[in-house]
Structures are given as C-alpha cells and as structure tokens.
Amino acid sequence: MPGVVIRDGTEPGGSGGLAFDLAEVLGALGNRVATSRWRCWNLSYVSRDEVDIGPLDRAASGESIDGTDLLAALPRLMQVIDGEFQGFEGEPEPWVIIRAVDTSSWEVSSHDAGTLHAIRATFRVVDDLPA
C-alpha cells in the first residue's frame, strides 16, 4: 500500500519534537474519519489527565469503534507514542493505515490518492514511504 511519512518538527533545523499528533493527522483526512470504523494495535499513549481513554483502549483490545467515538476521545489525548490505527468503511481491507512511530514520525498508507494528497497538503515535511 503506498504511503507517506510525516516528520514536521523533527527535520534538520526543526524543533526536535513532532509539531502535531493524531488529532491533526485525522483532521487532514476530513469527514471520512467520522463515518469509518477504527481499530488499533500496539497502542501506547499519554492522556492529559493520566486516566485511560476508554475508546482508545477498546480499539486497542480488538474492538471496532465508531469514528465519532475516536474523534470524541482526542481532547483527552496528549500524545500517541506508538500505535497503528486502521480505518474501515465496510470493506475487509482498511482505506487508511496510520502509524505512530516512537514519537519520531507518523506514517499514513492508503490506496486512495486523495488521502495521501490531503496529508501532503496539510503537513510541511512529508516523504514517500520506501517501497
């Protein structure tokens, strides 16, 4: 699946830390996020109040959650350290895969060229994932 890696803030001369998190990645993808079902794997995150975030924990345990529940959880989320989020629209294969890589970058993969274009248009430092 083609994809991109986002490194805003960690590029040479950058602030040294990512300048965005999951909320901004999902925001770049638009309304499709809310109408999708989501699952995640290998999730490690920090909440703003140091209390577990139910929808994220359910998704990480294998449950499929509504996009609206995922979006509603974002204000409590401080940072995703690691994890993979997969968005589904009824097909057996996800339309998008979003990976947090050790707080150093985010990867977004999709067969939909519009999805990758939206990421490129939103973020400053975006490179193609190696084939």
Percent above pLDDT 70 for the chain: 94
Please tell me the predicted confidence (pLDDT) of residue 70: 97
Q: What is the 3-state secondary structure (H, E, C) of the chain?
A: CCEEEECCCCCCCCCCCCCCCHHHHHHHHHHHHCCCEEEEEEEEEEECCCCCCHHHHHHHCCCCEEHHHHHHHHHHEEEEEEEEEEEECCCCCCCEEEEEECCCEEEEECCCHHHHHHHHHHCCCEEECCC
The answer as to whether 130 is a domain residue is no
Percent above pLDDT 90 for the chain: 79
Going by pLDDT thresholds of 50, 70 and 90, the confidence category of residue 52 is very high
> What is the average pLDDT across 86-105?
93
Residues 56 and 47 sit within 8 Å (Cβ to Cβ): no
The answer as to whether 129 is a domain residue is no
Structural domain boundaries, residue 82: 3-123
Number of domains making up the chain: 1
Please tell me the predicted confidence (pLDDT) of residue 16: 64
